[in-house]
Amino acid sequence: MLNIRISQDLLAAIIFILIGVAALVFGADLRAGTSADMGPGYLPRALGWTVISLGVITGLRTIWLHSPVVGQVKLRPIILILVATCAFGFLVESAGFVVASAIAIFNSLFGNGRPSVPYALGMVVILPVALAIIFIVGLGLPIDLWWF
């Protein structure tokens, strides 16, 4: 559990400014050109600056405009769903679909609290097999079922 005390608008402002700056930094080597002959960097630059300014306005606005605080963030769901996603991505090629999805599902279950053993066992065993039958055997998606 994480309690974020800054306001929603301020956090939004920070995200906007970071993304705008990233667009400017990583787009710095792109030729901007002129409006008559736009280069690949013309819009990235324009958009980067616009997003930054919108971020700044959103942030400054919090001085006089009330915005609710972000508040309690339960870390469990977001972190475990991300872990499950990445685990699937890293494992699916080497370990095959069944093992990768079993591990992903196992992780995701903890995103919802502590799972009971029979429920966890059921999900981890039945769901990957069912999905494999539907998508790989049935619909013929080209994903390896096993590691061999």
Partner 1 sequence: MIADMLNNLAIGFAGASTLANLGYALVGCLLGTLVGVLPGIGVVPTVAMLLPLSFGMEPLSGLIMLAGIYYGAQYGGSTAAILVRMPGEAGSIVTALDGYEMARKGRAGSALAIAALASFFAGTVATLLIAAFGPSLASLAMKFHSADYFSLMVLGLSMTVVLAQGSILKAIAVMLIGFIFGLVGLDINSGVQRFTFGIPDLWEGVSFLAISIGLFGLVEVVRNLEFPEPRGDRPKMKIRDLYPNREEFRESAPAVVRGTILGSLLGVLPGGGAVLASFVSYSLEKKLSKRPETFGKGAPAGVASPEAANNAGAQTSFVPLLTLGLPSNPIMALLMGAMMIHGIAPGTAIVSERPDLFWGLIASMWIGNLMLVVLNLPLVGLWVRLLTISYDLLFPAIMMFCLIGVYSEGGSAFQILLLAGFTLLGYLLMRCGCEPAPMIIGFILGPMMEENLRRALTVSGGDYSVFIERPISATLLAASVLLLLLMALPGLRKSRAEAFQE
The dihedrals phi and psi of 68, each to the nearest 5 degrees, come to -60, 150
Pick between residue 37 and residue 148 the one whose CB is nearest to partner 1: 37
DSSP string for residues in 20-46: HHHHHHHTTTS--B-SSSB-TTHHHHH
Strand partners, 17: none
Pick between residue 81 and residue 148 the one whose CB is nearest to partner 1: 81
Question: Can you read off the two tokens belonging to residue 103?
Answer: 């591990």
Where do contacts with partner 1 occur on this chain (CB under 8 A)? 4, 8-9, 11-12, 15-16, 19, 23, 26-27, 30-31, 34-41, 43-44, 47-48, 50-51, 54-55, 57-58, 61, 67-68, 70, 73-74, 76-78, 81-82, 84-86, 88-90, 92-93, 101, 104-105, 108-109, 111-112, 119, 123, 127-128, 131, 135, 139-143
Pick between residue 142 and residue 148 the one whose CB is nearest to partner 1: 142
* Distance in Å, CB of 137 to partner 1, minimum: 13
Distance from C-alpha of 31 to C-alpha of 46, rounded to nearest angstrom? 13
* Distance in Å, CB of 103 to partner 1, minimum: 12
Pick between residue 56 and residue 148 the one whose CB is nearest to partner 1: 56
* Distance in Å, CB of 125 to partner 1, minimum: 12
Distance from C-alpha of 38 to C-alpha of 50, rounded to nearest angstrom? 18
Distance from C-alpha of 107 to C-alpha of 101, rounded to nearest angstrom? 10
Cα–Cα–Cα angle for 122, 124, 130, rounded to 5 degrees: 85
* Distance in Å, CB of 126 to partner 1, minimum: 10
